[in-house]
Amino acid sequence: MKRIAFLMLAGLISSGVAMANDHEEAHDRAEHFEGKPAETMEEAVANFSEGNQQLAEMLASDELTNEQMGELHMLTYTLENALLKIDEEVKSMAVSLEEVHLGSETLDQERVATNGVDYLEVARTLAE
């Protein structure tokens, strides 16, 4: 069930990325933080999970202090980096899976095997 929820979330990322682009103007008004990098899918998933846990803990308090708001602001940069990488990887997965699909229709075993390996490499990271 966690896998399905995560994949559904990944499907919604594109809209979140669009919101992040709109948010760039707001970034110009606020101090910039880079957040943790997400150069690999593994880093992105780890930062996403850890960041969401931190956000949930912050939001569980009755009221957020100004200090917590600052921490939350910095945390959003890490989460945005993670979502951008996950979005990029999910789009790549979709292409690979489509190639598997098309290869299965034409009985092209090499196409299925090559693209299936590419797809599963990323999919396994999401499923962990």
Q: Given CA atoms 106, 109, 114, 118 in this order, what sign does their dihedral have?
A: positive
Q: What is the pLDDT of residue 1?
A: 43
pLDDT of 5 > 60? The answer is no
Q: How confident is the model at residue 126 (pLDDT cuts 50, 70, 90)?
A: confident
pLDDT of 51 > 80? The answer is yes
Buried b (16+ CB within 10 A) or exposed e, 19-39: ebeeeeeeeeeeeeeebbebe
Show the CA angle centred on residue 73, arms to residues 50 and 40, nearest 5°: 40
